[in-house]
Structure 1
Amino acid sequence: MTLLPYEHANLRLRYRQYLELATMVTLSLFVVALYTMPKFESIGLENSVYIAPIESYEIPPETEQFKKPAPPMRPSIPIESEPDEIDVEITIEETGLADFVAIDAPPPPPVSDRRFIPYDEHPEPLGGYGALQKNVVYPEIAREAGIEGTVIVQALIGKDGIVHATEIFKGIPKTGLDEAAMNAVKMTAWKPALQRDKPVTVWVNIPIIFRLSSN
């Protein structure tokens, strides 16, 4: 006779009993835990925002910057300059031509009327300086008095080669030599000065030496 059905029923009964016992123990432990655990008080947290400290800096006041005005342009003023001196001296020998009438030299022109004009080539007498020498007449009064010396004539020679003005830069007054030198320069035709191959009007110094012959 077998006992299998009985043992099987017994196992099912024990399983149920064990399950109920375990459930009761678990619930008991849970209840005990609720009463035995310490209570925690809830602390309300306020919303807070961290604000970093603001550092103050002293800012210098802005100053309006004024630009320094540009220096005024200097007006263009003609530059006075001594005329260039032609490095050719004319020696006039004794002559007995023409009577001499002594007159005073004319006053020089105003300084403001003169401007420096640069040039590349000096003016020259047409026919060379021999042509200028032929136009110089030794004054009789100077010849009889034995007066010699050098007269420097300032001449304004135009683009056309004509002498438009003369004055004495260095002379021997009241001897007739100044007038004789200026007349010779005026009577001579000139090749005008050149600036970049173009004729220009310029002032030049022309020295003329009056010297009596020793014969």
Structure 2
Amino acid sequence: MSDYDDVHGAHPGTATAKGDAPAPAWRAGAGSGTAVLEPEVEIPAHPTVQTEHPGRARDMARTAGLEDERRERVVHQQRLVLGVALLASVGIHAAIFSWSPDFHSDSMATSSRALQSIQLPPDVKIPPPPQSIARPATPKVAATDVSPELTIAPTTLEANPASALPPPPPAVGGNPADRPTFIPFDVPPKLLNKGEIERLLAKLYPASLRDVGIGGAVVVWAYVDVQGKVLKTFIKDSSGYPSMDAAAAQVVQNMTFKPAINRDQPIAVWISQKVTMSVTR
């Protein structure tokens, strides 16, 4: 209750300090002697602050402590796992280095040879191409005056008899047995005494060459007549040793052939016969 209430009494329609309900206020009606009852607006009292229960505060404090403890335990476990992983990594690397082979480098040998400078050849200057040679001028034939009265002798047989011709050149040839010439044939000569020739070849082999292991080959021209006998021999390709060439010619001279045949008739021909002498070990 305010000072106004103490002096003038309680205001109509307000509540007392004891919490009683406000009394209705009477207001005189305008221009009439009747009274109208109107309620006054109630002024709310100040809200009261209620304090929390002491047990609930203790539960909240305990819960906060448990959360901190759980967080510290998780951090401790993470640090423990990280430490174990680090130790395992160090151990694995140490094992790899201990089992790996030792690496060493070979000693590098140095050469005592001094470096030599190489003189490059001087640059060769290529001369320019020669100038094209001018084609010589075509000579001009001097004009000559031909007499219209000049006549050419007739070229008939009567005007040029055979007796007036020059003599023919001397004939070249002679006897075919004098030198090797080609004589056509159908069937070549065939050696008949091969075994005898092999024994003769071993007998006539020069001892001076056979004892030191020198061999060779000789090609001999041989003229075989119609009876198959060798009449003439010439050395075509020499072995380089005169004694071996002479022995080869003597061996061919003792050969007996079946004569060559040309048109079903035996003929005399030149043949090329190779004789080889070698040492058999």
TM-score (norm 2): 0.37
Q: Between Structure 1 and Structure 2, whose CA radius of gyration is higher?
A: 2
Could you tell me the TM-score, scaled by structure 1's length? 0.47
Higher relative contact order (CA 8 A, sep 6+): 1
